[in-house]
C-alpha cells in the first residue's frame, strides 16, 4: 500500500509538471483579476498557445503578439477606454476570445474599433462586441470595422456572439468611406458567422464637398467568402451625404474586386436594415437593403422590412434590391417581406427589384415574396427626366427561374411631376427570360402617373419580361394602371406582359385588371386584361377568366380606348389550344369611346383557336372577340363583330355553355368545370384531342370523345 501510495505521488508530481508545459493549460497560472492585475503584462509573458482567464473589467487597449486564448472567468470585459483599438492582433496569429465583452474601442486609423486582426485566425465564442468606433481621422483613410476588423486575409469565425451598437464613420473626403459598422474584413480572407447577432451597427459618411460612399453597416466583407448560419443581421443603418452618393448594402456588403465572392446564408434573418442617401446636387445610388454581393445563396432564411431611401435634390436617384442586390441569386425555402424602396430625383428617379435585383441569373424555389413596395418620384423636365420602376419583387437582367413560389401584394409605383412615368412588373420584371412553374402571382400592382404634360405607361401588373413561360401557375388579381394629367396614358397586361414569346401551359389567369386614365384632352388606352405577347404566343390547357380592361378619358375631348379583356394579339401569331377564355370584359368612359373585344382581339398579327371555349365575355361591341381564326372544334359564345370564319367542327353563338364557377377542381390551379348538359362535352373525336391530359392532369378522353376547353369532365 505504501509503495502504491508513493508511486501515485510521483505520478501526480509528473502530471503537475506536464500541465505546466501544456499550451493553454489555464491552471498553470491563476486568473487575471483586472481590478488589481495587469492583463497586458500577462499577455506579454504568456507562452504561445496559453489560455488566460480574466475576471472583472480590464482597462486597455491591448495588443496580442502570439497564439493565445483569452477567456472570461466566467465573463469579463475588455474596455479600450476610447484610446485606440480595444484588442489588436497586429501580426498573423491564432487568437480565441471566449465569454468576453469587448467595448470602448476608438480607432482613428481604419484598423477597427473593438478587435483588429492582421492575418491569422480569430475565433469569437460567446463574445459581445459593443459600443466601439472606427473613424477616418485623415483624408484617404477608410473607416472600416467599428466592431471587428480583419486585414491581410484574416480568417474570422464568430459563434454564439453579438456584434452590437458599433460604428464606422467619417467626414473625410474621398477616397475615404465608411464600411462595416459591425464587422469589416478584406484581402481574400474568410468570415463565418454562426448562432450570432449582428445588431444596430452603423456606417456613415458625410462629405462637405465631393463624393460619399458607405455600406455594409452590419458586415462588410471585401473579396471574402461569407457564410452565415442560424444568425440574424438586424437594425443596421448605412447613411451617406455628399455629391455624388453611393451606398452598398444596408445590412451586408460582400463585394468582389479581385476574386469572386459567395455569400451563403442558411436558417438566418436579415431584418429592418436601413439605408439613407442624400445629395444636394449629384447622383444618388443605393443598392441592397439586406445583402449586396457578387453571388448570394439563401436557404431557409428570411429578409424582413429592409428599407432603402435615396434622394437627389437636383439629379438622378436610383434605388435597387430591397432584400438582395447581386449578380447571381439563389433562394430556396426563403422569404422577402415588407421591403420598402423610395427614390426621389430632382431630375429623375428609378427603383428596381423590391426584393431582389440581379443582372445575371435568379433561381427561386419554394419561396415567398410579399408586401415589397417601391416608389419613384421624379420632378425634372426633359426626355430623360421623370420616374421609372421595374419589378416590385424581382428585377432580373438575364434569366429568372421560379418554382413553387408565391408573390403577393408587391408593387411598383412611379410619379413624375413634369415628365413621363413608367412602371413594369408589379411582382417580377426581366429583360431576359422568365420561367414560372407551379407558382402564384396575386394582388401585385404596377402604377405609373404623370402629373405634368407627359405620358404614363404601365405594363405587367403581375410580371413583365422578354420571353415568358408559365407552367401550372396562377396569375390572379394583379393590376397595371397608368394615369396622366394632360397627356396619353397607356396600360397593358394586367397579368403578364411578354416582349417576346409567351408560352402558357396548365395555368390560370383570373381577375387581373388593366386601367388607363387621361384627365387631359388626350388618349387613354387599356389593352389585355390578362396577358399580352410582343412575339409569338402559345396558350394550351389554360383558363383565362374574369380579367378586365378599362379606359377613362374624362375631359370634353378626350378619347378612351379599351381592347381585349383577356389578350390583345399585337403583331405576331398567338394560338389557344384546349383552353377556356370566359367572363372577361372591357369598358370605356369618355368623350370618344372605343371599347371592343371582351375576350380576344387581333391587332396586326393572328389569333387562332383550337378546341377552345370563348364565351360569356362582355364589351360595348364585339363582346367575345375581334378578328379570330379557327383551328376547329371550338365553342364560341357569340361571333358578332368577331370576323370568325366557322369551321364545320365549331359550335358558335352558344348563349349558355353551361359552365361552373372558377374553382379548385383538382390539380395545381383553379379551373372552370363543364356542367351536365354543356355543349362542350364529348365534342372532339378521340383521335383529334390534341393534348393527352387537361389542365388538371386528367387524362383525355374520359369518355368516347374529348371535351372542348381546359377541363375534361369525368363521367
Residue 16 has pLDDT above 60, yes or no: no
Q: How far apart are CA 273 and CA 235, in angstroms?
A: 5
In which band, very low, low, confident or very high, does the pLDDT at 23 lie, cut at 50, 70 and 90? very low
Q: How far apart are CA 648 and CA 14, in angstroms?
A: 106
pLDDT for 330 equals: 98
DSSP one-letter code for 693: B
Average pLDDT over residues 494-501: 96
pLDDT for 141 equals: 79
pLDDT for 111 equals: 84
pLDDT for 176 equals: 82
C-alpha cell at 136: 477616418
Average pLDDT over residues 198-202: 98
Beta-carbon neighbour count of residue 28 at 10 Å?
A: 16
C-alpha cell at 576: 389557344
In which band, very low, low, confident or very high, does the pLDDT at 329 lie, cut at 50, 70 and 90? very high
Q: How far apart are CA 168 and CA 147, in angstroms?
A: 8
Q: How far apart are CA 577 and CA 505, in angstroms?
A: 10
C-alpha cell at 317: 436617384
Residue 487 contacts residue 453 (beta carbons within 8 Å): yes
29-33, 569-573, 656-660 — most confident range: 656-660
Residue 587 has pLDDT above 90, yes or no: yes
Q: 668-678: per-residue pLDDT in tens?
A: 999 999 999 99
C-alpha cell at 595: 371599347
Question: If DSSP codes are grouped into helix, strand and coil, which group holds residue 376?
Answer: strand
Q: How far apart are CA 85 and CA 96, in angstroms?
A: 17
pLDDT for 260 equals: 92
Q: 450-472: per-residue pLDDT in tens?
A: 998 899 999 999 999 999 999 99
Residue 14 has pLDDT above 60, yes or no: no
Q: 143-177: per-residue pLDDT in tens?
A: 999 999 999 999 999 999 999 999 999 988 777 89
Q: How many residues does the chain have?
A: 715
Which residue do the cell numbers 452598398 mark? Answer: 248
C-alpha cell at 396: 432580373
In which band, very low, low, confident or very high, does the pLDDT at 18 lie, cut at 50, 70 and 90? very low
Average pLDDT over residues 62-77: 96
Residue 118 has pLDDT above 60, yes or no: yes
Q: 272-312: per-residue pLDDT in tens?
A: 999 999 999 999 999 999 999 999 999 999 999 999 999 99
Beta-carbon neighbour count of residue 406 at 10 Å?
A: 17
Amino acid at each position: 500500500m505504501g509503495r502504491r501510495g508513493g508511486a501515485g505521488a510521483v505520478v501526480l508530481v509528473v502530471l503537475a509538471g506536464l500541465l505546466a508545459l501544456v499550451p493553454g493549460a489555464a491552471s498553470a497560472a491563476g486568473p487575471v483579476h483586472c481590478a488589481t492585475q495587469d492583463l497586458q503584462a500577462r499577455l506579454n509573458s504568456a507562452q504561445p498557445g496559453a489560455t488566460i482567464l480574466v475576471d472583472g473589467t480590464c482597462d486597455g487597449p491591448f495588443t496580442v503578439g502570439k497564439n493565445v486564448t483569452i477567456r472570461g472567468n466566467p465573463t469579463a470585459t475588455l474596455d479600450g477606454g476610447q484610446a485606440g483599438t480595444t484588442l489588436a492582433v497586429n501580426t498573423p496569429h491564432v487568437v480565441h476570445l471566449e465569454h468576453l465583452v469587448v467595448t470602448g474601442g476608438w480607432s482613428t486609423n481604419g484598423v477597427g474599433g473593438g478587435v483588429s486582426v492582421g492575418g491569422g485566425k480569430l475565433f469569437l465564442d460567446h463574445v459581445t462586441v459593443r459600443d466601439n468606433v472606427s473613424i477616418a481621422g485623415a483624408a484617404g483613410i477608410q473607416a472600416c470595422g467599428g466592431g471587428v476588423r480583419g486585414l491581410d486575409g484574416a480568417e474570422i469565425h464568430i459563434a454564439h456572439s453579438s456584434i452590437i451598437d458599433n460604428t464606422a464613420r467619417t467626414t473625410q473626403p474621398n477616397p475615404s468611406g465608411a464600411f462595416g459598422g459591425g464587422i469589416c474584413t478584406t484581402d481574400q480572407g474568410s468570415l463565418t458567422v454562426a448562432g450570432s447577432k449582428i445588431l444596430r451597427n452603423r456606417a456613415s459618411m458625410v462629405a462637405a464637398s465631393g463624393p460619399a460612399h458607405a455600406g455594409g453597416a452590419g458586415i462588410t466583407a471585401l473579396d471574402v467568402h461569407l457564410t452565415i448560419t442560424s444568425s440574424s443581421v438586424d437594425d443596421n443603418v448605412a447613411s451617406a451625404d455628399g455629391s455624388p452618393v453611393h451606398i452598398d448594402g444596408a445590412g451586408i456588403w460582400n463585394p468582389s474586386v479581385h476574386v469572386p465572392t459567395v455569400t451563403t446564408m442558411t436558417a438566418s434573418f436579415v431584418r429592418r436594415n436601413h439605408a439613407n442617401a442624400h445629395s444636394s446636387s449629384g447622383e444618388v445610388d443605393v443598392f441592397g437593403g439586406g445583402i449586396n454581393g457578387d453571388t448570394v445563396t439563401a436557404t431557409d432564411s428570411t429578409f424582413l422590412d429592409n428599407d432603402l431611401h435615396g434622394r437627389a435634390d437636383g439629379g438622378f436617384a436610383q434605388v435597387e434590391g430591397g432584400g438582395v442586390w447581386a449578380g447571381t441569386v439563389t433562394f430556396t425555402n426563403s422569404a422577402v417581406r415588407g421591403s420598402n424602396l423610395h427614390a426621389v430625383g430632382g431630375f429623375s428617379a428609378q427603383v428596381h427589384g423590391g426584393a431582389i435585383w440581379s443582372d445575371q441569373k435568379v433561381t427561386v424555389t419554394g419561396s415567398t415574396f410579399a408586401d415589397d413596395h417601391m416608389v419613384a418620384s421624379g420632378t425634372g423636365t426633359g426626355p430623360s427626366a421623370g420616374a421609372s420602376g421595374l419589378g416590385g419583387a424581382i428585377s432580373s437582367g438575364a434569366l429568372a427561374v421560379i418554382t413553387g413560389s408565391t408573390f403577393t401584394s408587391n408593387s411598383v409605383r412611379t410619379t413624375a411631376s413634369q415628365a413621363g412615368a413608367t412602371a413594369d412588373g408589379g411582382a417580377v420584371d426581366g429583360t431576359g427570360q422568365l420561367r414560372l412553374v407551379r407558382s402564384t402571382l396575386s394582388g401585385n400592382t404596377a402604377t405609373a402617373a404623370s402629373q405634368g404634360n407627359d405620358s404614363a405607361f404601365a405594363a405587367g401588373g403581375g410580371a413583365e419580361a422578354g420571353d415568358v413561360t408559365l407552367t401550372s401557375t396562377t396569375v390572379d388579381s394583379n393590376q397595371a394602371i397608368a394615369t396622366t394629367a394632360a397627356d396619353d396614358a397607356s396600360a397593358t397586361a394586367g397579368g403578364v406582359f411578354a416582349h417576346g414569346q409567351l408560352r402558357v401551359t396548365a395555368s390560370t389567369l383570373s381577375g387581373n385588371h388593366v386601367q388607363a386614365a387621361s384627365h387631359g384632352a388626350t388618349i387613354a388606352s387599356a389593352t389585355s386584361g390578362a396577358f399580352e405577347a410582343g412575339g409569338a404566343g402559345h396558350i394550351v390547357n389554360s383558363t383565362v377568366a374574369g380579367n378586365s380592361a378599362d379606359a377613362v378619358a374624362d375631359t370634353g375631348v378626350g378619347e378612351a380606348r379599351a381592347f381585349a379583356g383577356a389578350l390583345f394579339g399585337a403583331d405576331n401569331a398567338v394560338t389557344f389550344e384546349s383552353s377556356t377564355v370566359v367572363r372577361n370584359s372591357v369598358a370605356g368612359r369618355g368623350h370618344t369611346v372605343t371599347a371592343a373585344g371582351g375576350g380576344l382581339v387581333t391587332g396586326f398579327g393572328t389569333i387562332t383557336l383550337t378546341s377552345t371555349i370563348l364565351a360569356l365575355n362582355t364589351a360595348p361591341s364585339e363582346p367575345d372577340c375581334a378578328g379570330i381564326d379557327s383551328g376547329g372544334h371550338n365553342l364560341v359564345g357569340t361571333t358578332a363583330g368577331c370576323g370568325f370564319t366557322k369551321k364545320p367542327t365549331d359550335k358558335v353563338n352558344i348563349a349558355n355553355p353551361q359552365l361552373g364557377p372558377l374553382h379548385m377542381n383538382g390539380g395545381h390551379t383553379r379551373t372552370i368545370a363543364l356542367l351536365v348538359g354543356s355543349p362542350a362535352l364529348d365534342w372532339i373525336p378521340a383521335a383529334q384531342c390534341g393534348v393527352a391530359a387537361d389542365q388538371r392532369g386528367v387524362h383525355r378522353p374520359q369518355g368516347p370523345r374529348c371535351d372542348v376547353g381546359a377541363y375534361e369532365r369525368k363521367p
